[in-house]
């Protein structure tokens, strides 16, 4: 059950007529923020071509102003003697900047000084979107009318009412007029929204820009998109909170990834699936990539790399790495990589005495067979010699218990080994043992989390922005999602009904289960329906809490429900 909200400007992208620009100009004691300082800040805030605010202040640089700078700007040492230092100025300037687009002429210079000042005074740089009017001028003016891109030249070209004079506020005013003059020109080339500004910094070939019309018929909603090739083949699968805006950005922003640029040149169409939430979109994306194996998705080239540790099927089993699509009972994992699986095997062998030789042993040891040095060191129960098979059965049973998640004996043995190596100052070996033990513990914890999720059926809710976002999961898979403004319990019941006659079919991808777990474990998540046992993230592996439905208040409408 999904309630569709009325479309907003954010759904279609922000028109430049609604964008807040903060045009900034600085005067400084020199050209490098490493050894020079700011002497004046001027800024003009505009929206829709109208000035909505101005900011100006002199700044005491804390150093002498060179005579050449005095001659250029007219700012003397006497003028800044009583001015505030930059640490006093920054809070008010950053507040004035807000979330506007920062504009400057030769923006690298101004932004460099502002970032250095923030770092020196302990303020976080807000990382605003930055537009350089020099870059815009290269796209909006010809060499004939503006042989150079100096501010004074551009002010003449656009006939600004303010003449630049190397004072911060006057130069910011002139730059603001130049900015809006250039944006009027660029509108004829499709630069009409805030998202289009990136195309000016990273030019896009005309052949690709013409393909931007592919996005026109897509909804401005969250979901998954698929680029199609000439034969309808899947080229690339992606996800976005705003399908139309994201797909359009491929053709209006300069794509630097060679593979994606090649994909865009091949693409002839794009289709999309709308999703109720970001979680549903992310899950659908990984399912589609797994099913379609699109040529240009990196994940297609490296399917889930999960590995499991198992015992081999023989009389005297050994530990081995498995690449099966899903683990089985009695397998430890999933591991995040093959190297993690090998480290876990090393830990289990060291702690439990599981044999490391690769020879396939006979049921009854051969007469006269001799054990290797591992038996003498106590590292192997040596089932290869007569009379030792019973001892190896104990080691094998301990290994089966550890693979099932009971790793306390392994932790106890190897924690002692780490301490012993450290006492002997053999820190390198202590680190190796610690890392191999961590691989076992991490895998056991991950196994417990995934096992608990697979054993439950859950409907949960979280407040995101101005809506309630719900999800349902069963058997480790996402079975439904919705986003509502009111009627949380009705939406929860609708999602719960999807469990009736549910047949998951293929094994659930580990990535999907991890996405669901991260969603459930975020602060503010409430469980509305829970069938089965759910392992609380704070309780640790092996300890479960049985969640039962109790009287709960509907977060949206205040009703109660048992």
Which amino acids are annotated catalytic? 166
The SS3 assignment for 354 reads coil
Centre a 10 Å sphere on the Cβ of residue 258 and count the other Cβ atoms it contains.
8
Q: Greatest CA span in the chain, whole angstroms?
A: 105
Centre a 10 Å sphere on the Cβ of residue 163 and count the other Cβ atoms it contains.
12
Give the separation between CA 10 and CA 1, rounded to whole angstroms. 23
Beta carbons within 8 Å of 21's beta carbon, 6+ residues apart: 45, 46, 47, 100, 101, 103, 131, 176, 179
Round the CA-based radius of gyration of the chain to a whole number and report it. Answer: 32
- Helix axis angle for 243-252 and 258-266, nearest 10°, is 100
C-alpha angle 354/357/363, rounded to 5°? 80
Give the separation between CA 149 and CA 132, rounded to whole angstroms. 11
Centre a 10 Å sphere on the Cβ of residue 244 and count the other Cβ atoms it contains.
21
**Which CA distances in Å does 270 have to 94, 218, 282?**
41, 9, 18
Q: What are the tokens at 544?
A: 């479960």
Is residue 469 a contact partner of residue 277, using CB atoms and an 8 Å limit? yes
Is residue 456 a contact partner of residue 517, using CB atoms and an 8 Å limit? no
Is residue 282 a contact partner of residue 253, using CB atoms and an 8 Å limit? no
The three state secondary structure string of 118-137 is: HHHHCCCCCCCCEEEHHHHH
Backbone angles phi, psi at 129, to 5 degrees: -65, 135
Burial status of residue 230 (CB atoms within 10 A of its CB: 0-12, 13-18, 19 or more): exposed
**Reading across the β-sheet that carries 526-531, which strands appear in turn?**
477-484, 467-474, 457-464, 526-531
- Helix axis angle for 408-423 and 389-403, nearest 10°, is 100
Residue 177 C-alpha from the chain's centroid? 38
Beta carbons within 8 Å of 322's beta carbon, 6+ residues apart: 307, 308, 309, 310, 331, 333
**Reading across the β-sheet that carries 332-335, which strands appear in turn?**
319-322, 307-311, 332-335
Nearest to 193 by CA among 228, 229, 146, 242: 242
């Amino acid at each position: 059950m999904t309630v569709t909200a009325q479309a907003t400007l954010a759904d279609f992208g922000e028109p430049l007529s609604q964008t807040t620009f903060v045009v900034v100009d600085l005067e400084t004691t020199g050209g490098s923020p490493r050894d020079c300082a700011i002497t004046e800040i001027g800024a003009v805030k505009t929206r829709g071509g109208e000035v909505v605010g101005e900011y100006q202040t002199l700044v005491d640089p804390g150093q002498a102003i060179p005579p050449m700078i005095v001659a250029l700007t007219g700012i003397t040492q006497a003028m800044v003697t009583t001015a505030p230092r930059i640490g006093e100025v920054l809070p008010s300037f950053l507040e004035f900047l807000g979330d506007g687009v920062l504009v400057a002429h030769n923006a690298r210079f101004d932004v460099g000084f502002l970032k250095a000042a923030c770092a020196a005074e302990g303020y976080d740089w807000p990382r605003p979107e930055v537009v350089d009017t020099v870059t815009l001028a290269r796209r909006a003016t010809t060499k004939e009318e503006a042989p150079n891109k100096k501010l004074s030249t551009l002010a003449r070209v656009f006939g600004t009412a303010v003449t630049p004079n190397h004072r911060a506020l006057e130069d910011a005013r002139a730059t603001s007029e130049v900015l809006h003059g250039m944006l009027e020109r660029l509108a004829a080339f499709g630069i009409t929204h805030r998202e289009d500004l990136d195309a000016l910094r990273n030019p896009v070939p005309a052949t690709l820009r013409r393909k931007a019309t592919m996005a026109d018929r897509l909804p401005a909603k969250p979901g998954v998109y698929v680029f199609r090739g000439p034969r309808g083949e899947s080229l690339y699968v992606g996800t976005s909170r705003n399908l139309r805006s994201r797909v359009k950005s491929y053709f209006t922003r300069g794509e630097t990834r060679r593979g994606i640029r090649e994909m865009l040149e091949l693409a002839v169409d794009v289709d999309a699936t709308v999703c109720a939430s970001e979680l549903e979109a992310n899950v659908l994306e990984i399912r589609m990539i797994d099913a379609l194996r699109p040529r240009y998705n990196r994940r297609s080239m490296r399917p889930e790399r999960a590995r499991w540790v198992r015992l081999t099927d023989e009389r005297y089993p050994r530990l081995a790495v498995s690449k099966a699509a899903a683990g089985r009972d009695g397998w430890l994992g999933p591991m995040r990589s093959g190297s993690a699986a090998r480290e876990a095997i090393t830990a289990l062998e060291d702690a439990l005495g599981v044999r490391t030789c690769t020879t396939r042993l006979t049921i009854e040891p051969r007469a006269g067979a001799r054990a290797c040095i591992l038996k003498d060191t106590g590292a192997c129960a040596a089932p290869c010699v007569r009379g030792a098979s019973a001892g190896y059965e104990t080691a094998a049973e301990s290994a089966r218990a550890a693979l099932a998640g009971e790793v306390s004996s392994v932790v106890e043995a190897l924690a002692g080994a780490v301490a012993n190596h450290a006492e002997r100052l053999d820190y390198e070996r202590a680190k190796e043992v610690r890392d191999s033990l961590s691989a076992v513990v991490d895998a056991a914890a991950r196994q417990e989390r995934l096992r608990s999720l697979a054993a439950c059926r859950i409907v949960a809710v979280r407040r995101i922005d101005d809506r309630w976002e719900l999800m349902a999961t069963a058997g480790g898979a996402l079975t439904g999602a919705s986003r509502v403004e009111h009627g949380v319990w009705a939406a929860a019941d609708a999602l719960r009904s999807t469990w009736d006659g549910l047949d998951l079919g293929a094994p659930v991808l580990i990535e999907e289960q991890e996405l669901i777990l991260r969603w459930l474990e975020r602060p503010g998540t409430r469980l509305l329906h829970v069938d089965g046992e759910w392992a609380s993230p704070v309780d640790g592996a092996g300890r479960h809490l049985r969640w039962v439905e109790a009287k709960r208040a509907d977060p949206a409408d205040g009703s109660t429900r048992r």
